[in-house]
Amino acid sequence: MRSLLYLYILAVVPLFGRSAAAQTVYRDSLKQVIVYSGTDTLKVNAYLDLANDYQQTQPDTATYFALKAVELAEHTDHPYYLSKALMFLGSAYIRDSSYEKALNTLTRAREVVSPTSYHFLKANILRRLGNIYFIQFKYDEALAYFDDVMDILDKHENIVLRAKLYDNMANVYYETQREDSALLYYQKSLDIMKIHGSEMSQASIYLNMGMLYAHLNDEVKAIEYSEKALEIARRHNARVMMTYPLKVLSTVHLNRGEFDEAVEYARQSLNIASEMDIVYEMKDAHQNISAAFEQLNQLDSAMYHYKEYKTLQDSMLNMDANERLAEMRAKYETEKKEQEITLLETENKAQKARSLAIVSSLGFLLILAGSGFMWFRAKKEKEFELLEKDKLIAESRKHLAEEELANSKLREENLQKELTNYALHIVEKNDFLEQVKSEMADLRMDVQSKDAIKHINKLGSRIYQNLMINKDREEFEIQVEQACEGFFKNLEHKHPDLTNQERRLAALLRLNLSSKEISGILNISPKSVDQSRYRLRKKLDLDKDINLSTFLNQI
Protein backbone atom coordinates (compact mmCIF):
# COMPACT_ATOMS: atom_id res chain seq x y z
CA MET A 1 0.00 0.00 0.00
CA ARG A 2 2.82 2.39 0.80
CA SER A 3 4.34 1.74 -2.63
CA LEU A 4 0.99 2.49 -4.27
CA LEU A 5 0.67 5.65 -2.17
CA TYR A 6 4.09 6.78 -3.33
CA LEU A 7 3.23 6.17 -6.97
CA TYR A 8 -0.02 8.08 -6.53
CA ILE A 9 1.85 11.05 -5.04
CA LEU A 10 4.34 11.12 -7.93
CA ALA A 11 1.62 10.83 -10.57
CA VAL A 12 -1.13 13.09 -9.23
CA VAL A 13 0.39 15.91 -7.18
CA PRO A 14 2.43 17.45 -10.06
CA LEU A 15 -0.82 17.85 -12.00
CA PHE A 16 -1.78 20.70 -9.69
CA GLY A 17 1.03 22.88 -11.08
CA ARG A 18 3.58 24.88 -9.16
CA SER A 19 1.29 26.83 -6.84
CA ALA A 20 2.55 27.27 -3.30
CA ALA A 21 -0.23 25.13 -1.85
CA ALA A 22 0.30 22.26 -4.29
CA GLN A 23 4.05 22.41 -3.79
CA THR A 24 3.63 22.20 -0.02
CA VAL A 25 1.30 19.21 -0.36
CA TYR A 26 3.76 17.53 -2.70
CA ARG A 27 6.71 18.02 -0.37
CA ASP A 28 4.76 16.96 2.73
CA SER A 29 3.59 13.83 0.93
CA LEU A 30 7.17 12.90 0.01
CA LYS A 31 8.23 13.41 3.61
CA GLN A 32 5.41 11.08 4.70
CA VAL A 33 6.78 8.44 2.34
CA ILE A 34 10.20 8.80 4.01
CA VAL A 35 8.68 8.46 7.49
CA TYR A 36 6.26 5.58 6.89
CA SER A 37 7.73 3.60 3.99
CA GLY A 38 9.55 0.44 4.97
CA THR A 39 11.41 0.21 1.65
CA ASP A 40 14.78 1.92 1.38
CA THR A 41 14.57 2.32 -2.40
CA LEU A 42 11.27 4.23 -2.07
CA LYS A 43 12.88 6.48 0.53
CA VAL A 44 15.87 7.12 -1.76
CA ASN A 45 13.53 8.15 -4.59
CA ALA A 46 11.57 10.38 -2.21
CA TYR A 47 14.77 12.09 -1.04
CA LEU A 48 15.84 12.62 -4.67
CA ASP A 49 12.43 14.05 -5.63
CA LEU A 50 12.66 16.45 -2.69
CA ALA A 51 16.17 17.46 -3.76
CA ASN A 52 14.92 18.07 -7.30
CA ASP A 53 11.94 20.11 -6.04
CA TYR A 54 14.05 22.34 -3.77
CA GLN A 55 16.91 22.93 -6.23
CA GLN A 56 15.39 26.08 -7.76
CA THR A 57 14.43 27.81 -4.51
CA GLN A 58 16.54 26.40 -1.65
CA PRO A 59 19.81 24.92 -3.00
CA ASP A 60 21.18 24.15 0.47
CA THR A 61 18.06 22.15 1.32
CA ALA A 62 18.35 20.33 -2.02
CA THR A 63 21.95 19.40 -1.20
CA TYR A 64 20.85 18.12 2.23
CA PHE A 65 18.24 15.80 0.72
CA ALA A 66 20.71 14.59 -1.93
CA LEU A 67 23.19 13.74 0.84
CA LYS A 68 20.47 11.86 2.73
CA ALA A 69 19.67 9.93 -0.45
CA VAL A 70 23.34 8.95 -0.88
CA GLU A 71 23.61 7.95 2.79
CA LEU A 72 20.56 5.70 2.52
CA ALA A 73 21.53 4.34 -0.92
CA GLU A 74 24.86 3.16 0.52
CA HIS A 75 22.86 0.56 2.49
CA THR A 76 20.69 -0.65 -0.38
CA ASP A 77 23.55 -2.49 -2.09
CA HIS A 78 21.95 -1.51 -5.40
CA PRO A 79 24.19 0.30 -7.95
CA TYR A 80 21.26 1.99 -9.70
CA TYR A 81 20.05 3.89 -6.64
CA LEU A 82 23.55 4.69 -5.37
CA SER A 83 24.78 6.03 -8.73
CA LYS A 84 21.54 7.98 -9.24
CA ALA A 85 21.83 9.53 -5.76
CA LEU A 86 25.48 10.41 -6.40
CA MET A 87 24.50 12.00 -9.73
CA PHE A 88 21.91 14.23 -7.99
CA LEU A 89 24.46 15.16 -5.31
CA GLY A 90 27.05 16.02 -7.98
CA SER A 91 24.50 18.25 -9.72
CA ALA A 92 23.79 19.98 -6.39
CA TYR A 93 27.51 20.65 -5.96
CA ILE A 94 27.66 22.12 -9.50
CA ARG A 95 24.83 24.53 -8.63
CA ASP A 96 26.79 25.46 -5.50
CA SER A 97 29.94 26.05 -7.62
CA SER A 98 31.75 23.35 -5.62
CA TYR A 99 33.31 21.90 -8.76
CA GLU A 100 35.94 19.74 -7.07
CA LYS A 101 33.27 18.06 -4.92
CA ALA A 102 31.06 17.71 -7.98
CA LEU A 103 33.87 16.12 -10.00
CA ASN A 104 34.74 13.64 -7.24
CA THR A 105 31.09 12.74 -6.62
CA LEU A 106 30.24 12.25 -10.30
CA THR A 107 33.44 10.27 -10.86
CA ARG A 108 32.38 7.90 -8.10
CA ALA A 109 28.88 7.70 -9.63
CA ARG A 110 30.49 6.72 -12.92
CA GLU A 111 32.53 4.00 -11.20
CA VAL A 112 29.42 2.59 -9.51
CA VAL A 113 27.26 2.52 -12.66
CA SER A 114 30.02 1.45 -15.06
CA PRO A 115 29.61 -2.36 -14.66
CA THR A 116 25.81 -2.15 -15.00
CA SER A 117 23.49 -1.95 -18.01
CA TYR A 118 21.81 1.33 -16.97
CA HIS A 119 22.83 3.03 -20.19
CA PHE A 120 20.86 6.28 -19.89
CA LEU A 121 22.02 6.79 -16.31
CA LYS A 122 25.60 6.34 -17.53
CA ALA A 123 24.99 8.87 -20.29
CA ASN A 124 23.53 11.46 -17.92
CA ILE A 125 26.47 11.10 -15.52
CA LEU A 126 29.00 11.45 -18.35
CA ARG A 127 27.17 14.50 -19.72
CA ARG A 128 27.36 16.21 -16.33
CA LEU A 129 31.07 15.42 -16.10
CA GLY A 130 31.54 17.03 -19.51
CA ASN A 131 29.66 20.13 -18.38
CA ILE A 132 32.00 20.54 -15.39
CA TYR A 133 34.98 20.64 -17.73
CA PHE A 134 33.09 23.05 -20.04
CA ILE A 135 32.52 25.41 -17.10
CA GLN A 136 36.26 25.22 -16.36
CA PHE A 137 37.14 26.14 -20.00
CA LYS A 138 38.61 22.65 -20.61
CA TYR A 139 36.84 22.20 -23.90
CA ASP A 140 38.80 19.20 -25.19
CA GLU A 141 38.05 17.24 -22.02
CA ALA A 142 34.38 18.26 -22.23
CA LEU A 143 34.10 17.03 -25.83
CA ALA A 144 35.75 13.73 -24.87
CA TYR A 145 32.97 13.07 -22.35
CA PHE A 146 30.31 14.18 -24.84
CA ASP A 147 31.76 11.70 -27.35
CA ASP A 148 31.34 8.93 -24.77
CA VAL A 149 27.70 9.94 -24.35
CA MET A 150 27.26 9.87 -28.12
CA ASP A 151 28.63 6.31 -28.24
CA ILE A 152 26.00 5.22 -25.71
CA LEU A 153 23.16 6.95 -27.57
CA ASP A 154 24.25 5.40 -30.87
CA LYS A 155 23.64 1.99 -29.30
CA HIS A 156 20.69 2.88 -27.05
CA GLU A 157 18.63 5.74 -28.44
CA ASN A 158 17.08 8.42 -26.21
CA ILE A 159 15.95 11.26 -28.42
CA VAL A 160 15.50 13.91 -25.68
CA LEU A 161 18.91 13.16 -24.17
CA ARG A 162 20.42 13.36 -27.65
CA ALA A 163 18.94 16.83 -28.19
CA LYS A 164 20.44 18.01 -24.89
CA LEU A 165 23.80 16.55 -25.90
CA TYR A 166 23.72 18.34 -29.27
CA ASP A 167 23.06 21.62 -27.45
CA ASN A 168 26.02 20.97 -25.10
CA MET A 169 28.30 20.23 -28.05
CA ALA A 170 27.15 23.31 -29.97
CA ASN A 171 28.03 25.49 -26.98
CA VAL A 172 31.57 24.08 -26.95
CA TYR A 173 31.99 24.64 -30.69
CA TYR A 174 30.71 28.22 -30.35
CA GLU A 175 33.21 28.93 -27.54
CA THR A 176 36.10 27.47 -29.57
CA GLN A 177 35.33 29.45 -32.76
CA ARG A 178 34.18 26.39 -34.72
CA GLU A 179 31.10 28.15 -36.00
CA ASP A 180 30.22 25.63 -38.74
CA SER A 181 30.09 22.78 -36.23
CA ALA A 182 28.13 24.94 -33.78
CA LEU A 183 25.50 25.69 -36.46
CA LEU A 184 25.29 22.02 -37.41
CA TYR A 185 24.61 20.86 -33.87
CA TYR A 186 22.24 23.72 -33.06
CA GLN A 187 20.26 22.66 -36.14
CA LYS A 188 20.25 19.01 -35.05
CA SER A 189 18.98 19.99 -31.61
CA LEU A 190 16.34 22.24 -33.19
CA ASP A 191 15.10 19.48 -35.49
CA ILE A 192 14.53 17.22 -32.49
CA MET A 193 12.91 19.94 -30.38
CA LYS A 194 10.44 20.74 -33.18
CA ILE A 195 9.07 17.22 -32.75
CA HIS A 196 9.65 16.42 -29.09
CA GLY A 197 10.25 19.76 -27.38
CA SER A 198 8.29 22.87 -26.48
CA GLU A 199 8.00 26.05 -28.52
CA MET A 200 10.05 27.94 -25.97
CA SER A 201 12.84 25.38 -26.32
CA GLN A 202 12.79 26.05 -30.06
CA ALA A 203 12.85 29.81 -29.42
CA SER A 204 16.00 29.47 -27.35
CA ILE A 205 17.75 27.64 -30.20
CA TYR A 206 16.49 30.14 -32.80
CA LEU A 207 17.96 32.89 -30.64
CA ASN A 208 21.35 31.16 -30.37
CA MET A 209 21.43 30.64 -34.13
CA GLY A 210 20.48 34.26 -34.76
CA MET A 211 23.34 35.40 -32.54
CA LEU A 212 25.77 33.09 -34.30
CA TYR A 213 24.70 34.26 -37.78
CA ALA A 214 25.08 37.87 -36.63
CA HIS A 215 28.59 36.99 -35.46
CA LEU A 216 29.24 35.52 -38.93
CA ASN A 217 27.87 38.71 -40.60
CA ASP A 218 25.09 36.76 -42.33
CA GLU A 219 22.54 39.51 -41.76
CA VAL A 220 19.66 37.88 -43.63
CA LYS A 221 19.73 34.70 -41.58
CA ALA A 222 20.44 36.61 -38.39
CA ILE A 223 17.22 38.58 -38.94
CA GLU A 224 15.29 35.44 -39.94
CA TYR A 225 16.16 33.41 -36.85
CA SER A 226 15.92 36.34 -34.45
CA GLU A 227 12.43 37.19 -35.74
CA LYS A 228 11.38 33.56 -35.23
CA ALA A 229 12.59 33.70 -31.64
CA LEU A 230 10.83 37.04 -31.13
CA GLU A 231 7.57 35.76 -32.61
CA ILE A 232 7.47 32.78 -30.23
CA ALA A 233 8.42 34.93 -27.24
CA ARG A 234 5.61 37.38 -28.04
CA ARG A 235 3.12 34.55 -28.53
CA HIS A 236 3.93 33.25 -25.05
CA ASN A 237 4.27 36.77 -23.56
CA ALA A 238 7.83 35.90 -22.56
CA ARG A 239 8.82 39.52 -22.04
CA VAL A 240 12.29 38.85 -20.69
CA MET A 241 13.16 36.70 -23.67
CA MET A 242 11.83 39.34 -26.07
CA THR A 243 14.64 41.73 -25.16
CA TYR A 244 17.44 39.67 -26.63
CA PRO A 245 16.15 39.02 -30.18
CA LEU A 246 15.10 42.69 -30.22
CA LYS A 247 18.69 43.64 -29.42
CA VAL A 248 20.08 41.32 -32.11
CA LEU A 249 17.66 42.78 -34.67
CA SER A 250 18.59 46.32 -33.63
CA THR A 251 22.30 45.57 -34.03
CA VAL A 252 21.88 43.92 -37.43
CA HIS A 253 19.78 46.81 -38.80
CA LEU A 254 22.34 49.25 -37.42
CA ASN A 255 25.09 47.45 -39.32
CA ARG A 256 22.94 47.50 -42.47
CA GLY A 257 22.55 51.27 -42.23
CA GLU A 258 18.81 50.97 -41.49
CA PHE A 259 18.92 53.39 -38.58
CA ASP A 260 15.18 54.01 -38.05
CA GLU A 261 14.56 50.26 -37.75
CA ALA A 262 17.55 49.95 -35.41
CA VAL A 263 16.11 52.65 -33.13
CA GLU A 264 12.64 51.05 -33.13
CA TYR A 265 13.89 47.58 -32.14
CA ALA A 266 16.24 49.04 -29.53
CA ARG A 267 13.43 51.16 -28.03
CA GLN A 268 11.22 48.08 -27.69
CA SER A 269 14.05 46.24 -25.96
CA LEU A 270 14.76 49.23 -23.71
CA ASN A 271 11.11 49.55 -22.64
CA ILE A 272 10.90 45.89 -21.61
CA ALA A 273 14.35 45.87 -20.01
CA SER A 274 13.52 49.00 -18.00
CA GLU A 275 10.26 47.47 -16.82
CA MET A 276 12.01 44.23 -15.81
CA ASP A 277 15.17 46.02 -14.55
CA ILE A 278 17.48 44.03 -16.87
CA VAL A 279 20.58 46.20 -16.70
CA TYR A 280 22.53 44.42 -19.45
CA GLU A 281 19.77 44.92 -22.02
CA MET A 282 19.18 48.53 -20.95
CA LYS A 283 22.89 49.30 -21.46
CA ASP A 284 23.07 47.71 -24.93
CA ALA A 285 19.78 49.29 -26.03
CA HIS A 286 21.04 52.78 -25.11
CA GLN A 287 24.28 52.07 -26.98
CA ASN A 288 22.47 51.05 -30.18
CA ILE A 289 20.06 53.99 -30.00
CA SER A 290 22.96 56.40 -29.49
CA ALA A 291 24.85 55.00 -32.49
CA ALA A 292 21.76 55.18 -34.71
CA PHE A 293 20.90 58.76 -33.72
CA GLU A 294 24.49 59.78 -34.37
CA GLN A 295 24.20 58.47 -37.94
CA LEU A 296 20.84 60.26 -38.30
CA ASN A 297 22.60 63.48 -37.17
CA GLN A 298 20.31 63.79 -34.14
CA LEU A 299 23.25 64.62 -31.91
CA ASP A 300 21.35 65.71 -28.77
CA SER A 301 19.48 62.40 -28.62
CA ALA A 302 22.66 60.51 -29.45
CA MET A 303 24.51 62.21 -26.59
CA TYR A 304 21.68 61.55 -24.12
CA HIS A 305 21.58 57.83 -24.84
CA TYR A 306 25.37 57.61 -24.87
CA LYS A 307 25.48 59.12 -21.38
CA GLU A 308 22.86 56.60 -20.21
CA TYR A 309 24.91 53.80 -21.75
CA LYS A 310 28.11 54.96 -20.05
CA THR A 311 26.36 55.35 -16.69
CA LEU A 312 25.06 51.78 -16.83
CA GLN A 313 28.39 50.45 -18.06
CA ASP A 314 30.27 52.19 -15.27
CA SER A 315 27.87 50.86 -12.66
CA MET A 316 28.31 47.31 -14.00
CA LEU A 317 32.10 47.50 -14.01
CA ASN A 318 32.19 49.10 -10.52
CA MET A 319 34.72 51.69 -11.64
CA ASP A 320 36.37 54.07 -9.15
CA ALA A 321 38.92 56.86 -9.43
CA ASN A 322 41.66 55.42 -7.21
CA GLU A 323 43.89 54.46 -10.11
CA ARG A 324 43.67 57.88 -11.71
CA LEU A 325 44.43 59.58 -8.38
CA ALA A 326 47.42 57.29 -7.94
CA GLU A 327 48.67 58.18 -11.42
CA MET A 328 48.34 61.90 -10.71
CA ARG A 329 50.17 61.49 -7.41
CA ALA A 330 52.91 59.44 -9.06
CA LYS A 331 53.32 62.03 -11.81
CA TYR A 332 53.57 64.83 -9.25
CA GLU A 333 56.09 62.97 -7.09
CA THR A 334 58.16 62.02 -10.14
CA GLU A 335 58.34 65.58 -11.41
CA LYS A 336 59.23 66.80 -7.93
CA LYS A 337 62.07 64.30 -7.57
CA GLU A 338 63.36 65.07 -11.06
CA GLN A 339 63.54 68.76 -10.16
CA GLU A 340 65.44 67.91 -6.97
CA ILE A 341 67.91 65.78 -8.92
CA THR A 342 68.41 68.52 -11.52
CA LEU A 343 69.07 71.06 -8.78
CA LEU A 344 71.56 68.77 -7.06
CA GLU A 345 73.36 68.07 -10.33
CA THR A 346 73.59 71.81 -11.07
CA GLU A 347 74.96 72.51 -7.61
CA ASN A 348 77.40 69.65 -8.01
CA LYS A 349 78.71 71.05 -11.30
CA ALA A 350 79.08 74.49 -9.76
CA GLN A 351 80.82 73.00 -6.76
CA LYS A 352 83.19 71.09 -9.01
CA ALA A 353 84.01 74.29 -10.88
CA ARG A 354 84.61 76.14 -7.63
CA SER A 355 86.68 73.27 -6.29
CA LEU A 356 88.82 73.24 -9.40
CA ALA A 357 89.48 76.92 -9.13
CA ILE A 358 90.33 76.61 -5.47
CA VAL A 359 92.58 73.64 -6.07
CA SER A 360 94.34 75.49 -8.88
CA SER A 361 94.79 78.54 -6.71
CA LEU A 362 95.98 76.49 -3.79
CA GLY A 363 98.31 74.56 -6.02
CA PHE A 364 99.75 77.77 -7.36
CA LEU A 365 100.12 79.14 -3.85
CA LEU A 366 101.48 75.85 -2.57
CA ILE A 367 103.96 75.69 -5.42
CA LEU A 368 104.94 79.21 -4.72
CA ALA A 369 105.05 78.58 -1.01
CA GLY A 370 106.50 75.14 -1.43
CA SER A 371 103.84 73.79 0.92
CA GLY A 372 102.88 70.50 -0.71
CA PHE A 373 101.21 69.42 2.47
CA MET A 374 98.63 72.20 2.39
CA TRP A 375 97.83 71.51 -1.26
CA PHE A 376 97.30 67.79 -0.57
CA ARG A 377 95.06 68.47 2.41
CA ALA A 378 92.87 70.93 0.49
CA LYS A 379 92.51 68.51 -2.39
CA LYS A 380 91.38 65.71 -0.11
CA GLU A 381 88.84 67.92 1.57
CA LYS A 382 87.32 68.93 -1.74
CA GLU A 383 87.24 65.34 -2.94
CA PHE A 384 85.41 64.40 0.22
CA GLU A 385 82.84 67.09 -0.43
CA LEU A 386 82.33 65.79 -3.98
CA LEU A 387 81.88 62.27 -2.68
CA GLU A 388 79.26 63.50 -0.23
CA LYS A 389 77.42 65.28 -3.03
CA ASP A 390 77.56 62.16 -5.21
CA LYS A 391 76.25 60.12 -2.32
CA LEU A 392 73.37 62.56 -1.84
CA ILE A 393 72.51 62.35 -5.55
CA ALA A 394 72.65 58.55 -5.45
CA GLU A 395 70.38 58.48 -2.40
CA SER A 396 67.93 60.84 -4.09
CA ARG A 397 67.83 58.66 -7.19
CA LYS A 398 67.34 55.58 -5.06
CA HIS A 399 64.48 57.27 -3.20
CA LEU A 400 62.91 58.27 -6.52
CA ALA A 401 63.20 54.70 -7.79
CA GLU A 402 61.57 53.43 -4.60
CA GLU A 403 58.75 55.97 -4.99
CA GLU A 404 58.24 54.94 -8.61
CA LEU A 405 58.19 51.27 -7.58
CA ALA A 406 55.65 51.98 -4.84
CA ASN A 407 53.45 53.93 -7.26
CA SER A 408 53.77 51.14 -9.81
CA LYS A 409 52.68 48.62 -7.20
CA LEU A 410 49.74 50.87 -6.24
CA ARG A 411 48.62 51.06 -9.88
CA GLU A 412 49.00 47.30 -10.21
CA GLU A 413 46.99 46.72 -7.02
CA ASN A 414 44.20 48.97 -8.32
CA LEU A 415 44.23 47.14 -11.66
CA GLN A 416 44.17 43.79 -9.84
CA LYS A 417 41.21 44.97 -7.75
CA GLU A 418 39.27 46.12 -10.82
CA LEU A 419 39.96 42.93 -12.80
CA THR A 420 39.22 40.67 -9.83
CA ASN A 421 35.96 42.50 -8.96
CA TYR A 422 34.80 42.20 -12.55
CA ALA A 423 35.74 38.52 -12.78
CA LEU A 424 34.03 37.73 -9.46
CA HIS A 425 30.97 39.55 -10.79
CA ILE A 426 30.96 37.00 -13.64
CA VAL A 427 31.47 34.08 -11.25
CA GLU A 428 28.45 35.04 -9.14
CA LYS A 429 26.20 34.92 -12.19
CA ASN A 430 27.06 31.27 -12.95
CA ASP A 431 25.03 30.16 -9.91
CA PHE A 432 21.74 31.07 -11.53
CA LEU A 433 21.78 29.58 -15.02
CA GLU A 434 21.59 25.86 -14.25
CA GLN A 435 19.08 26.40 -11.43
CA VAL A 436 16.25 27.96 -13.35
CA LYS A 437 16.40 27.13 -17.04
CA SER A 438 15.11 23.50 -17.10
CA GLU A 439 11.44 24.13 -16.39
CA MET A 440 10.87 27.71 -17.59
CA ALA A 441 9.24 26.91 -20.93
CA ASP A 442 6.74 24.34 -19.66
CA LEU A 443 5.79 26.42 -16.60
CA ARG A 444 5.03 29.52 -18.61
CA MET A 445 2.49 27.63 -20.76
CA ASP A 446 0.79 25.72 -17.93
CA VAL A 447 0.43 28.23 -15.10
CA GLN A 448 -2.69 30.43 -14.92
CA SER A 449 -2.11 32.26 -11.63
CA LYS A 450 -1.00 35.88 -12.02
CA ASP A 451 1.22 35.58 -8.98
CA ALA A 452 2.83 32.46 -10.44
CA ILE A 453 3.33 34.20 -13.79
CA LYS A 454 4.95 37.12 -11.98
CA HIS A 455 7.25 34.69 -10.18
CA ILE A 456 8.11 32.94 -13.45
CA ASN A 457 8.93 36.27 -15.10
CA LYS A 458 11.28 37.05 -12.25
CA LEU A 459 12.98 33.70 -12.80
CA GLY A 460 13.13 34.49 -16.49
CA SER A 461 14.80 37.80 -15.73
CA ARG A 462 17.49 35.98 -13.83
CA ILE A 463 18.23 33.38 -16.50
CA TYR A 464 18.29 35.72 -19.48
CA GLN A 465 20.50 38.24 -17.73
CA ASN A 466 22.93 35.37 -17.42
CA LEU A 467 22.79 34.72 -21.18
CA MET A 468 25.31 37.58 -21.42
CA ILE A 469 27.91 35.70 -19.44
CA ASN A 470 29.95 34.85 -22.54
CA LYS A 471 30.13 38.50 -23.53
CA ASP A 472 31.24 39.45 -20.01
CA ARG A 473 33.97 36.83 -20.08
CA GLU A 474 35.20 38.21 -23.43
CA GLU A 475 35.28 41.75 -22.00
CA PHE A 476 37.22 40.50 -18.95
CA GLU A 477 39.72 38.66 -21.15
CA ILE A 478 40.15 41.80 -23.30
CA GLN A 479 40.94 43.83 -20.19
CA VAL A 480 43.51 41.23 -19.06
CA GLU A 481 45.04 41.16 -22.57
CA GLN A 482 45.31 44.97 -22.61
CA ALA A 483 46.69 45.24 -19.06
CA CYS A 484 49.25 42.45 -19.55
CA GLU A 485 50.14 43.04 -23.22
CA GLY A 486 53.87 43.46 -22.61
CA PHE A 487 53.95 40.53 -20.22
CA PHE A 488 52.24 38.21 -22.74
CA LYS A 489 54.74 39.19 -25.47
CA ASN A 490 57.73 38.48 -23.24
CA LEU A 491 56.18 35.26 -21.98
CA GLU A 492 55.45 34.01 -25.49
CA HIS A 493 58.97 34.90 -26.61
CA LYS A 494 60.60 33.02 -23.74
CA HIS A 495 58.12 30.15 -23.50
CA PRO A 496 56.28 29.71 -26.84
CA ASP A 497 54.98 26.24 -25.89
CA LEU A 498 52.53 27.53 -23.27
CA THR A 499 48.80 27.05 -23.96
CA ASN A 500 46.27 29.89 -23.82
CA GLN A 501 44.95 28.50 -20.54
CA GLU A 502 48.46 28.50 -19.06
CA ARG A 503 49.06 32.06 -20.30
CA ARG A 504 45.79 33.14 -18.63
CA LEU A 505 46.84 31.44 -15.38
CA ALA A 506 50.28 33.11 -15.55
CA ALA A 507 48.65 36.54 -15.91
CA LEU A 508 46.44 35.95 -12.87
CA LEU A 509 49.41 34.65 -10.83
CA ARG A 510 51.36 37.76 -11.85
CA LEU A 511 48.57 39.82 -10.27
CA ASN A 512 49.40 37.98 -6.99
CA LEU A 513 46.03 36.24 -6.81
CA SER A 514 45.78 33.20 -4.54
CA SER A 515 44.71 29.77 -5.74
CA LYS A 516 41.35 30.30 -4.08
CA GLU A 517 40.79 33.64 -5.87
CA ILE A 518 41.86 32.20 -9.20
CA SER A 519 39.53 29.23 -8.75
CA GLY A 520 36.61 31.63 -8.25
CA ILE A 521 37.54 33.64 -11.35
CA LEU A 522 38.03 30.61 -13.63
CA ASN A 523 35.17 28.54 -12.10
CA ILE A 524 37.51 25.70 -11.16
CA SER A 525 38.52 24.13 -7.87
CA PRO A 526 41.53 25.33 -5.86
CA LYS A 527 42.99 21.86 -6.28
CA SER A 528 42.74 22.20 -10.07
CA VAL A 529 44.47 25.59 -9.81
CA ASP A 530 47.28 24.01 -7.79
CA GLN A 531 47.64 21.25 -10.38
CA SER A 532 47.73 23.84 -13.16
CA ARG A 533 50.35 25.81 -11.23
CA TYR A 534 52.42 22.65 -10.90
CA ARG A 535 52.22 21.98 -14.66
CA LEU A 536 53.10 25.64 -15.38
CA ARG A 537 56.15 25.46 -13.11
CA LYS A 538 57.20 22.29 -14.87
CA LYS A 539 56.92 23.91 -18.32
CA LEU A 540 58.82 26.96 -17.08
CA ASP A 541 61.52 24.59 -15.72
CA LEU A 542 61.59 26.30 -12.32
CA ASP A 543 63.43 24.97 -9.27
CA LYS A 544 61.35 24.31 -6.18
CA ASP A 545 62.96 27.18 -4.27
CA ILE A 546 61.92 29.78 -6.88
CA ASN A 547 58.63 31.58 -6.19
CA LEU A 548 56.37 31.32 -9.25
CA SER A 549 54.66 34.73 -8.83
CA THR A 550 58.02 36.46 -8.28
CA PHE A 551 59.44 34.79 -11.38
CA LEU A 552 56.46 35.86 -13.52
CA ASN A 553 56.70 39.45 -12.27
CA GLN A 554 60.31 39.54 -13.49
CA ILE A 555 59.36 38.65 -17.08
CATH number for the domain including 505? 1.10.10.10
Task: Quote the pLDDT of residue 364.
Answer: 61
CA pair distance 553, 513, nearest whole angstrom: 12
* Residue 246 domain flag: no
Contacts of residue 453, defined as CB under 8 A and 6 or more positions apart, other chains included, come to 444, 447
* Residue 540 domain flag: yes
Question: Which ranges constitute the DSSP H helices of 236-321?
Answer: 239-255, 259-276, 279-295, 299-317
Q: How many other β-carbons are positioned within 10 Å of the β-carbon of residue 525?
A: 22
CA nearest neighbour of 189 among 156, 225, 210, 160: 160
Least confident interval from 370-374, 429-433, 485-489: 429-433
For the chain, what is the domain count? 1
* Residue 440 domain flag: no
What is the band of 446 on the pLDDT scale with cuts at 50, 70, 90? confident
* Residue 503 domain flag: yes
What is the band of 496 on the pLDDT scale with cuts at 50, 70, 90? very high
Q: Which H or E run includes 511?
A: none
What Cα–Cα distance (Å) separates residue 246 from each residue in 17, 250, 291, 413?
A: 31, 6, 16, 40
CA nearest neighbour of 74 among 106, 44, 103: 44
Which domain does 540 fall in, by range? 472-554
Q: Are 206 and 225 in contact (CB under 8 A)?
A: yes
Task: Quote the pLDDT of residue 336.
Answer: 45
* Residue 510 domain flag: yes
Least confident interval from 20-34, 436-450, 537-551: 436-450
* Residue 496 domain flag: yes
pLDDT (tens digit per residue) in 104-158:
999 999 999 999 999 999 999 999 999 999 989 999 999 999 999 999 999 999 9
* Residue 478 domain flag: yes
* Residue 484 domain flag: yes
Q: Are 262 and 253 in contact (CB under 8 A)?
A: yes
CA pair distance 464, 44, nearest whole angstrom: 34
Distance of CA 276 to the CA centre of its chain: 23
pLDDT (tens digit per residue) in 47-83:
988 888 777 457 688 899 999 999 999 988 899 999 9
CA pair distance 76, 62, nearest whole angstrom: 21
